[in-house]
Amino acid sequence: MRPVTFPEQNVVFVPPKGMEGQCGNLPAFKGEGQVISCWRLTFWERLLLLFTGRLWFSVIGDDQPPIWLGVHTPFIRHRR
């Protein structure tokens, strides 16, 4: 998977010092007490997810913050 830009994005997080070679930039929306990012799966990742129904999530550190994973945008978008 890779993070992707999206219309509501208003910040880009860079890798922590010392981790520059292990991860890339993270485009995100930051506001309203939350941080939201959008990720695109490769064809093979989508296929694997379809057959296994499993999506793994990992946080580097000792605590597990509250998280939300979903397939629908958390933003209200108005049609033109």
Domain boundaries, the chain: 2-52
- Cβ neighbours of residue 9 closer than 8 Å, sequence gap 6 or more: 27, 28, 29
SS3 state of residue 50 = helix
Model confidence pLDDT, tens digit, residues 31-78: 999 999 999 999 999 999 999 999 998 887 888 788 888 989 999 876
Q: How far is CA 28 from CA 34, 39, 73, in A?
A: 10, 10, 13
Confidence class for position 79, pLDDT limits 50, 70, 90: low
